[in-house]
């Protein structure tokens, strides 16, 4: 089973919010997922747009889950990809 970290669309028409989830790559975009990692709201400027549980994200990255380009950019902005790269360097 190939696990991907990707976005699942939520919210109303023309007011999207997204969940960052770990899911099987063969499942539909809005289908059942394995675990919720965080949320992303591109519309709201007042609220905190990105909420990510770092421990869960790092757990899935260490297990070999592949993030999509958008999720990789979100993780980079939050500093999760740097922590993941640093943990890989320590293991070697």
By the 10 Å C-beta count (0-12 exposed, 13-18 middle, 19+ buried), 68 is classed as: middle
Per-residue pLDDT of 52-92, as tens digits, reads 999 999 999 999 999 999 999 999 999 999 999 998 887 66
pLDDT at res. 46? 67
**Residue 50 pLDDT exceeds 80:** yes
Range of the domain at 42: 3-91
pLDDT at res. 49? 86
Per the structure, how many domains does the chain have? 1
What is the domain-level CATH number for residue 21? 3.30.1320.10
Average pLDDT over residues 20-46: 89
Angstrom distance (rounded) from CA 38 to CA 75: 10
């Amino acid at each position: 089973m190939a696990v991907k970290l990707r976005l699942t669309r939520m919210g109303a028409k023309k007011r999207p919010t997204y969940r960052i989830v770990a899911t099987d790559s063969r499942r539909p975009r809005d289908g059942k997922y394995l675990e919720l990692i965080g949320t992303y709201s591109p519309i709201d400027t007042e609220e905190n747009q990105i909420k990510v549980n770092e421990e869960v994200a790092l757990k899935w990255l260490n297990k070999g889950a592949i993030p999509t380009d958008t999720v990789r950019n979100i993780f980079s902005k939050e500093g999760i990809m740097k922590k993941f790269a640093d943990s890989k360097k320590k293991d070697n």
